[in-house]
Structures are given as C-alpha cells and as structure tokens.
Chains A and B, each alone.
Chain A
Amino acid sequence: MAVFEFKSAQDLGRVLEQYGVKYLFFGKSGAILLGYSDTTQDVDLYVDKQRENCEKVVAALLELGFRLTENEQEEIGRGKDFVQLRNGPFDVDLIFAPDGIERFDDAWKRRVEKHGFPIASMDDIIGSKQAANRQKDRESLPRLLSFREWLRGNK
C-alpha cells in the first residue's frame, strides 16, 4: 500500500469533485489538513448519506483504484453508517453518521476550505470525538483543543 501523500489528497479531492460527491475531510486527517501536527494512519471522510451521493462515492472509489466487489459496491451505494476500506491506494474510513453530528448539511455549512479541500470545522471534529468518547479520543482531545485555540489566534 502506498503512503498517503499530498498528491494522494489532491487525487482523492479531484476525483470526488469530478463525481460530484458531497463529503468533508473529517477526524484527525481533517485536522491535519487544517495544519494540526500529529500522526494518523487513515483518511476519514464524512460523506452525505443521500442515496445518489453514496452511488457517486462508489464510482469515485473505483476510479481511485479501490478494489470493491459487487456486493461491497452495492452496500456502500445503499448507505451504511461506517465503512472501513483497506483495499485501495491508501486507507480510508467512510463515515456516514459520525457521533455528535445530526445532519451532514449542518457540518457542510460550518466547513472550512483549505488547500482546495472541504474540511469539517474544528468544532465538529472535536465535538464528534467528545461524543465518541473512546480511549483514543479522550487521549487526543487536549491537543486538539489546544490546536483549535491556536488556530483561532492565527486566523
């Protein structure tokens, strides 16, 4: 599996845009695109769960080189809440119903555009981690909160 480089993010963004997918970079990967310094393994994408949008995601993933069986394509197209992909050029988690966020459209309105990517706001990234409340979320929250404060002072 190739390492996720900035070019990977550009390819991902370009193909998702080409297919008209409504999505946001989310989680720690979203924060990293906003400048956060930490490490992560995979890309988290918050995807609008409308049926048509899910079908567009499938087409975009296939173009990007993800190996999806017909059943997997059908599952994603039908709409799941969470899909973990380790069968492509980089690791991606598709999140259709993140903890702490009621509606995609609300997160979309609060999004930040940076480097040409739509990225969830730090408030939504932090809020979702607070709602998920896993051990790894609790450990990462102080630094994420610190980054949000830093970001506010550097706008």
Chain B
Amino acid sequence: MANLQPNPAEWEDFEAAAKRPIEQHIRNSFVHTYKPVLDDAEYRSFNSMEEYRRWCKENLPYWLGYSRD
C-alpha cells in the first residue's frame, strides 16, 4: 500500500497549482510526448480491457509502463 502520509513538497505543488488560472494549469499539464508503438496508429479499439492489457503487454516497450509485471 502506498504511503498515505502527507508529503509537504507535494502539497506545496498542489497549493501552487490551485493558485494558477485554469488555462495555465491545463497548458502545464497536457504535454505531448511521442510514445513509440502506442502513438503509431490513429485508431485502435479493443473488445475488452483484458484484450487491451494483453495487447499492451505484447506490443509496447516495457519501459512505457503499461505492463502489470
């Protein structure tokens, strides 16, 4: 289980973010970074989340973090 103790540095981040205009907050938060394989198709669909997870495990580079291992 993750540590639930407040992290003062993180709380300072949250407080600072809360003071920014929403437009700036969104601009800071949505950053496009190319993810190999994942971003190489314009459209993908999966009949189940299990199928999606299997596809991620079999096709995506491990370092992208989509594996449950």
* Residues of chain A whose beta carbon lies under 8 Å from any beta carbon of chain B: 1, 3-7, 9, 29, 32-33, 35-41, 43, 67-69, 72, 75-76, 80-87, 90-91, 97-99, 115, 132-136, 139, 141-143, 145-147, 149-151, 154
Contact of B66 among A7, A39, A83, A134 (CB under 8 A): A134
Most buried by B among A7, A40, A150: A150
**B42 CB-CB contact with A under 8 Å:** yes
Nearest A residue to B46, CB-CB: A82
Contact (Cβ within 8 A) A5 B46: no
Q: List 11 A-B contacts (CB under 8 A).
A: A6-B25, A35-B14, A35-B18, A41-B31, A41-B32, A67-B42, A81-B48, A82-B46, A136-B64, A141-B2, A145-B4
Contact of A35 among B17, B43, B51 (CB under 8 A): B17
Contact (Cβ within 8 A) B29 A39: yes
Contacts of B18 in A (CB 8 A): 35, 154
| Bound complex: CA A36 to CA B10 (Å) | 10
Q: How many residues of B contact A (CB 8 A)?
A: 46
Contacts of A69 in B (CB 8 A): 43
Contacts of A43 in B (CB 8 A): 30
Given A146-B6, A150-B6, A154-B18, decide whether A87 and B43 contact each other with a Cβ distance below 8 A.
Answer: yes
Contacts of B41 in A (CB 8 A): 84, 86
Given A82-B52, A145-B4, decide whether A38 and B46 contact each other with a Cβ distance below 8 A.
Answer: no
Contacts of B16 in A (CB 8 A): 37
| Bound complex: CA A134 to CA B38 (Å) | 15
Contact (Cβ within 8 A) A149 B6: yes
| Bound complex: CA A87 to CA B44 (Å) | 10
